[in-house]
A and B are shown apart, each in its own frame.
Chain A
Amino acid sequence: MDIFLQQLANGLTIGSMFALVALGYTMVYGVMRLINFAHGDMVAASAFVGLTIYTQVMGQAASLLAVIVIFLLTAVAMACVGIILERIAYRPLREAPRLSAVVSALGASLVIQNGIMLIWGPQMRIFPELVPQISWDLGGVVISLIQVIILVLSLVLMVALYLFVEKTRIGAAIRASSIDQDAARLMGINVNSIIALIFIIGSSLGAVGGLFIGLYYRGITFNMGWQYGLYAFVAAIIGGIGNIPGAMLGGMLLGLFNAFIAGYVSSTWSDAFTFILLIIILIVRPTGILGERVAEKV
């Protein structure tokens, strides 16, 4: 039972990181029908940007204020990168065949990933210990402060995003653009601004996810974006890509699944089990758990 509760806690932590990153994939996909392969590398980049802000700008201070500033600055920096990425790599290809945009996204992914390597070097870097290492032993289950912070902050961000998309006028514009861009344009919605906004939100959430990955796992490498990005992308697909609550659900499910596989089977098989789960879910529900059953019209 202890191992179950321990892996439940770990799984919720990992799952909330997956969910934050998955939201970036799913929001871009919802509006543009494009798999933003560069998103995972943006997540990796944000961990390195956070590291540099900590050492260069904040002078290695680790107070609460410093942590908040690091999170805000990283999110702003990655939002800018997201807008630039959309302008350069995706906007010119909106009317092009879909696979051209996919290859452009893969190219952007290579650029960012190898840009990180050229700037910060190919070796693993250690992320600073911004949060004091406090943990509580709750009858055999150890929960650390960082896990609590990750879980609570992720939930707050996800609820805020959900309310923003469902309850505000801009949120309605986002939903309208994802249903039909042309019709949205006819209703006076500036779809270009909506797409820019999507990239701002997705990249900032990804930045928070990247900083969490740095805080939780500590070791960060230039090519970790592929790995975490792929997992988050799988989470988005499991939940039904394009669906915002689906990404949150998929992230949590995948995190729990991974934690239980690591706890009960073996962590060397986690990739294989993750993708076997994905394939089974797609065979049973071809558009994910919360995905709508729509015919593809292209």
Chain B
Amino acid sequence: MKELQRFGYPIFFVVMAILPHLLNSRWQAVAITFLIFAVVALSQDIVLGKSGMFNMGQALFFGIGAYTTAILNSQFGWPILATIPLAILIPAVFGVLLAGPIVHLRGDYLLVTTIGFNIVFVQVVQNNLGGVTGGPNGIFGLDSLSFFGTDLISQVSVYYFAFAVLMLTLWIMRNLEGSKPGRALHYLREDQLAAESIGINTRIYKIFAFALGAGIAGLAGTVFVVQYSAVSPEAFNFIQSVLFFSIVIVGGSSVPGVLIGVFVMFVLPEIFREFATWRFFIFGFAMIAAMILRPRGIIPATFGKIPKFLIKESNHGA
């Protein structure tokens, strides 16, 4: 594991940095998709893996971010880059408002409530509430990324924009792990009662985790708008949330595991296009097999610098 961290990450970053120059435009688009969904999956990992809250509605915050950018651009003519602060802030505020009343719910109840939020969101945008979401067709024909007056239309520039967002996400997650909130989330995931008894305000930290995950997912939503210059309700329905949820658990809620999960779920189908109709049939079996063979995920997460002899073969439970 240590070796992987020492050599794996630099190799990964170098490969990702030169990747767009090695690919044709179709595969560049696939790579950008990978980056976007990797960011959303990592934001899901903050809520589900790092904090242990059964959130099955992460596509909601992804969608709020994307729709924020799209509406500000199409209705108010804001340039895409200028929408970024709000595309982070509005999902984060929604994260606080929605998580606030429900974080005390038991695991499975939290899960179904977050599914509910996701479904309500999709129905709201489909029914074109307020006349700004474009209904079932969504919003299309949005501006491309422009930076101080220069349009960055080429896929390579979009790729680097998405890559920068992924790097930012990884940096936030690394800092989170070593910081006070990160340790607090880890404790409350392991044992909420014990965390409360040593003075951790679990409610505040749970809401914080939701807001952080929501903000990052919202930023990924902006990248989504830049890539497709369109948004539509289906891109954010609850099936997407199910995929992100599964990716985090199958991956073992570690960064390499989640990235592998995103690769398998979103890139492999592009390689094996002739099996398109079999895609989810095979994924279903793969999910069952992965969980039976490795119940704690493909690459289980390790936390912090706890000496090995202190970590017993414990069951992390729910």
What is the interface of chain A, defined by CB distance below 8 A to chain B? 29, 35, 88-89, 92-93, 95-104, 106-115, 117-118, 226, 230, 233-234, 237, 241, 268-269, 271-272, 274-276, 278-279, 282-283, 286-287, 296, 298
Alpha-carbon separation in the docked complex, A102 to B280 (Å): 17
Smallest CB separation, A87 vs chain B (Å):
12
Alpha-carbon separation in the docked complex, A98 to B296 (Å): 10
- Within 30-55 of B, Cβ neighbours of A (below 8 Å) are at 48, 54
- Within 87-118 of B, Cβ neighbours of A (below 8 Å) are at 101-102, 104-109, 111-113, 115-117
Q: Is the CB of A98 within 8 A of B120?
A: no
Q: Which of A117, A274, A276 contacts B277 (CB 8 A)?
A: A117
Alpha-carbon separation in the docked complex, A1 to B312 (Å): 66
Q: Is the CB of B104 within 8 A of A104?
A: no
Q: Does B307 contact A (CB under 8 A)?
A: no
Q: Which of B101, B123, B284, B317 contacts A111 (CB 8 A)?
A: B284
Q: Is the CB of B318 within 8 A of A298?
A: yes
Q: A107-B285, A275-B117, A296-B107 are in contact. Are A283 and B102 (CB under 8 A)?
A: yes
Alpha-carbon separation in the docked complex, A102 to B102 (Å): 20
Point out the residues of chain B lying under 8 angstroms from A271, CB to CB. 119-120, 123
- Within 205-223 of B, Cβ neighbours of A (below 8 Å) are at none
Alpha-carbon separation in the docked complex, A272 to B117 (Å): 8
Q: Does B139 contact A (CB under 8 A)?
A: no
What is the interface of chain B, defined by CB distance below 8 A to chain A? 48, 54, 101-102, 104-109, 111-113, 115-117, 119-120, 123-124, 126-127, 239, 242, 245-246, 249-250, 277-281, 283-288, 290-292, 295-296, 315-318
Point out the residues of chain B lying under 8 angstroms from A112, CB to CB. 284
Q: Which A-B residue pairs are the 7 nearest by beta carbons?
A: A107-B287, A110-B284, A275-B116, A96-B295, A111-B284, A114-B281, A98-B318
Alpha-carbon separation in the docked complex, A138 to B288 (Å): 52
Q: Is the CB of B107 within 8 A of A111?
A: no
Point out the residues of chain B lying under 8 angstroms from A118, CB to CB. 277-278, 281
Q: Which of A107, A110, A283, A287 contacts B291 (CB 8 A)?
A: A107
Q: Is the CB of A102 within 8 A of B249?
A: yes
Alpha-carbon separation in the docked complex, A201 to B117 (Å): 32
Interface of B is mostly: helix
Q: Is the CB of B107 within 8 A of A234?
A: no
Of B105, B279, B288, B292, most buried by chain A (CB within 10 Å of CB) is B288
Point out the residues of chain B lying under 8 angstroms from A117, CB to CB. 277
Smallest CB separation, B215 vs chain A (Å):
22
Alpha-carbon separation in the docked complex, A290 to B156 (Å): 57
Question: What would be 11 A-B contacts, judged by CB atoms less than 8 Å apart?
Answer: A29-B108, A93-B295, A97-B317, A99-B48, A103-B250, A107-B284, A111-B288, A118-B278, A271-B120, A275-B120, A282-B113
Q: Is the CB of B285 within 8 A of A272?
A: no
Smallest CB separation, B314 vs chain A (Å):
11
Q: Which of A104, A114, A115, A274 contacts B292 (CB 8 A)?
A: A104
Point out the residues of chain A lying under 8 angstroms from B277, CB to CB. 114, 117-118
Point out the residues of chain A lying under 8 angstroms from B283, CB to CB. 107, 110
Point out the residues of chain A lying under 8 angstroms from B279, CB to CB. 114
Point out the residues of chain B lying under 8 angstroms from A88, CB to CB. 288
Q: Which of B107, B112, B249, B317 contacts A237 (CB 8 A)?
A: B112
Point out the residues of chain A lying under 8 angstroms from B242, CB to CB. 106
Alpha-carbon separation in the docked complex, A97 to B246 (Å): 14
Point out the residues of chain B lying under 8 angstroms from A107, CB to CB. 246, 283-288, 291
Q: Is the CB of A106 within 8 A of B287?
A: yes
With both beta carbons as reference points, the residue of chain B lying nearest to A90 in the complex is identified as B288
Q: Which of A100, A110, A278 contacts B112 (CB 8 A)?
A: A278
Q: Is the CB of B280 within 8 A of A282?
A: no
With both beta carbons as reference points, the residue of chain B lying nearest to A114 in the complex is identified as B281
Q: Is the CB of A298 within 8 A of B107?
A: yes
